[in-house]
Chain A
Amino acid sequence: MADGRALAPGDGFGEALVLSEPLSFWGGVDPSTGRIIDARHPQLGASVVGRVLVLPSGRGSSSSSSVLAECVRAGVAPAALVLREPDPILALGAIVAAELYGTALPVVVLPDEAYAAIRTGDRVRVHAGDRAACVEADG
């Protein structure tokens, strides 16, 4: 169990999908299918739906908050986001989806060591409160 920092509150559970590079949701994830469409991304074609998405950070575009929130609305969002660096744009997508649709997509930041310990396929439980978060991975 690792302690982290909550950027958006909620509880999430799912199989981890670890991205080897940052991902811009805008231009990088298709909000109708939840698949990664960034042609240059190493995990191109992977589905984020229902996964605990583990990624170093977002990238580039300031529209990623909309695309993440649209994924939530369309039912193709990840179960949780686990980041290595805080990303306010992704947190914002989760926060606005919560305001509009009453959903809770937790967004958390983990210290480097705990972040690096998560492997794709691990079953991961994420709990994020107002400030503190904990992440439990069962490898």
Chain B
Amino acid sequence: MAGLVLDPIDERRLAGEEGEAPRLAMRVLVAMARATDAERFIDVEAAHVDACLYHGQVSLDFTERLASAGARVAVPTTLNVGVVDLLHPDRFRGDPAIGAAGRRLMERYVGMGCRPTFTCAPYQLPDRPRRGQHVAWAESNAIVFANSVLGARTARYGDFIDICAAITGRVPDAGLHRDEYRRGQVLFRLGPLPDRLESSDVLYPVLGHLIGSEAGSLVPVIEGLSAEPTEDHLKALGAGAASSGSVGLFHAVGMTPEAPTLQAAFGGAPPLRTVEVTLDRLVAARDELSTAAGPGIDAVSVGTPHASIAELEQLAALVDSASVHAGMALFVSTDRATLAEAEARGWVEALERAGATFVVDTCTYVTPILDARARVVMTNSAKWAYYAPGNLGVAVVFGSLEECVRSATLGRVWRDPDLWGDGG
């Protein structure tokens, strides 16, 4: 191993010659470079920071150290969700002290020059990264989308190092920044599936959950998707795979930018392993996502990761002239810009009239927004289904978007009888 070689600018920052904030940032970056065997640092053109989500006093301790030293971001930087919906702050039902601390944390990052985007889906904003561009993104679903769907390059950054990269514009030359870590490793071969399932949104979060469980931190390659998936489908797949596993990049043969062919996806090497994705395996993965069977539910939550404008259009069409059942809640999480666009198109008013509640800047599984009495919640998101039981102490029923919407209007779980063919 050649060891880590620093550029003069890295040395100056590390020595404190550029100020205290770059010094602390560089110390953290150098420790990470050693942990990842990097031999040098490279420039990034943008950053997405997740450290604005409050996880306890440590979040503020670290941020105040940087902010009080006058930290400023050096590259365009977007922010992930925080704990408070700043447009609707009264929706936060948690400890007011945590709400205040969480809000202060969000404001501190804006004060450092980050854009107040507060979304887990920064790839839905304008100016998203281009193919081959190096960025420093945190938030597991955003990381996997940037690498897989956009063909941009980011390692799996976590809280703290994200803002360190934004302050310095530098990251260790390691992991998914490098060609050799972007080659496929595990092949997931889809067998014949019922037509309805192949064209349904529900296939993708379930497939993602299965892939994450099997691939762990390896790079999965998916072969045999028959329908052309939308960006929303790939978003749901990636979010599922980055929850049940540590997936930071996947390839879908013929569909994602670095996988024009199976051979290209694997960089010419054979797969380490092949997983045959049968209907039975998908049904098993689907069933893992539910911890309750229903039919009783207290709320429905959609929009994890944050809903796109296309998803809000589908939602408005599905709700149509129906109303959320009395005593039920339908939560829809999205980002501010998408909310504004949906407002302009009249969908927000229609959905709110039907009884839906919009949440921005945060998400319903990271912060107390649901009624504290809610015990069973239905969702179309593998990520929500994965984390909500631990975070909120609720039981989860997983279903398609249509199943979620119809269940919200009926007040009990509704299942599409033909969606899964004979797999039930």
Q: How far does the Cβ of A39 sit from chain B's closest Cβ, in whole Å?
A: 4
Q: Is A113 an interface residue (CB 8 A)?
A: no
B28–A95 touching, CB < 8 Å: yes
Knowing A40-B288, A57-B216, A96-B28 touch, does A62 contact B50 (C-beta < 8 A)? yes
B246–A73 touching, CB < 8 Å: no
A31–B55 touching, CB < 8 Å: yes
Q: In B172-224, which residues have CB < 8 Å from any A CB? A: 175, 212, 216-217
A69–B58 touching, CB < 8 Å: yes
CB neighbours (8 Å) of A130 from chain B are 34
B217–A85 touching, CB < 8 Å: yes
| Complex partner residue of A39 from B57, B246, B390, CB under 8 angstroms | B390
How many chain A residues touch B (CB < 8 A): the figure is: 46
The stretch among B136-144, B229-237, B408-416 that forms the contact with chain A is B136-144
Q: In B303-354, which residues have CB < 8 Å from any A CB? A: none
CB neighbours (8 Å) of A67 from chain B are 55-56
CB neighbours (8 Å) of B27 from chain A are 99
Bound Cα distance from A31 to B159, whole angstroms: 15
Q: Is A123 an interface residue (CB 8 A)?
A: no
Q: How far does the Cβ of B384 sit from chain A's closest Cβ, in whole Å?
A: 11
B390–A100 touching, CB < 8 Å: no
CB neighbours (8 Å) of A92 from chain B are 28, 31-32, 35, 158-161
CB neighbours (8 Å) of A22 from chain B are 216, 245-246
Bound Cα distance from A100 to B288, whole angstroms: 39
| Complex partner residue of B56 from A38, A40, A73, CB under 8 angstroms | A73
Bound Cα distance from A55 to B334, whole angstroms: 35
CB neighbours (8 Å) of B36 from chain A are 86, 88
Q: Is A14 an interface residue (CB 8 A)?
A: no
What sequence of 0s and 1s flags, for each residue 65-81 of chain A, a beta carbon within 8 Å of any chain B beta carbon?
11101101110000000
| Complex partner residue of A27 from B143, B175, B391, CB under 8 angstroms | B391
Knowing A39-B390, A92-B28, A93-B158 touch, does A60 contact B56 (C-beta < 8 A)? no
Bound Cα distance from A16 to B362, whole angstroms: 37
A88–B155 touching, CB < 8 Å: yes
Residue of B nearest to A74 (CB): B56
Q: Is A97 an interface residue (CB 8 A)?
A: yes
Bound Cα distance from A130 to B31, whole angstroms: 9
CB neighbours (8 Å) of A89 from chain B are 156, 158
A73–B160 touching, CB < 8 Å: no
CB neighbours (8 Å) of B159 from chain A are 62-63, 65-66, 92
Q: Is A53 an interface residue (CB 8 A)?
A: no
| Complex partner residue of B161 from A27, A65, A131, CB under 8 angstroms | A65
CB neighbours (8 Å) of B24 from chain A are 99
CB neighbours (8 Å) of A85 from chain B are 216-217
Bound Cα distance from A93 to B216, whole angstroms: 20
CB neighbours (8 Å) of A88 from chain B are 32, 35-36, 155-156, 158, 175
What sequence of 0s and 1s flags, for each residue 16-37 of chain A, a beta carbon within 8 Å of any chain B beta carbon?
0000001010111001100001
What sequence of 0s and 1s flags, for each residue 377-415 of chain B, a beta carbon within 8 Å of any chain A beta carbon?
000000000110111000000000000000000000000
B212–A60 touching, CB < 8 Å: yes
B390–A37 touching, CB < 8 Å: yes
Bound Cα distance from A42 to B247, whole angstroms: 21
Residue of A nearest to B239 (CB): A60
A97–B242 touching, CB < 8 Å: no
Q: Is B61 an interface residue (CB 8 A)?
A: yes
Q: In A82-104, which residues have CB < 8 Å from any B CB? A: 85-89, 91-93, 95-97, 99-100
Bound Cα distance from A32 to B36, whole angstroms: 30
Q: Is A58 an interface residue (CB 8 A)?
A: yes
Q: How far does the Cβ of A128 sit from chain B's closest Cβ, in whole Å?
A: 11
Bound Cα distance from A89 to B139, whole angstroms: 11
Q: Is A59 an interface residue (CB 8 A)?
A: yes
Knowing A27-B390, A57-B216, A93-B158 touch, does A66 contact B175 (C-beta < 8 A)? no
CB neighbours (8 Å) of B50 from chain A are 62-63
Residue of A nearest to B392 (CB): A27
Q: How far does the Cβ of B152 sit from chain A's closest Cβ, in whole Å?
A: 16
Q: How far does the Cβ of B269 sit from chain A's closest Cβ, in whole Å?
A: 19
CB neighbours (8 Å) of B245 from chain A are 22, 59-60
What are the 8 A-B residue pairs with the smallest beta carbon separation, nearest first? A70-B56, A65-B158, A66-B55, A89-B158, A39-B389, A66-B159, A7-B35, A27-B387
User: What are 25 A-to-B residue pairs whose CB atoms are below 8 Å?
Assistant: A32-B56, A38-B390, A59-B246, A60-B140, A61-B387, A62-B50, A62-B158, A65-B161, A66-B159, A69-B58, A69-B62, A70-B57, A86-B35, A86-B36, A88-B155, A88-B156, A88-B158, A88-B175, A91-B35, A92-B35, A96-B62, A100-B58, A100-B62, A100-B65, A130-B34
Which A residues form the contact surface with B (CB < 8 A)? 7-8, 22, 24, 26-28, 31-32, 37-40, 56-67, 69-70, 72-74, 85-89, 91-93, 95-97, 99-100, 107, 130-131
Extra A-B contacts (18), CB below 8 Å, given A57-B246, A70-B59 = A7-B35, A8-B35, A24-B243, A57-B216, A59-B243, A60-B245, A61-B243, A65-B161, A66-B58, A73-B61, A88-B156, A91-B32, A91-B35, A92-B32, A92-B159, A93-B160, A99-B28, A131-B34
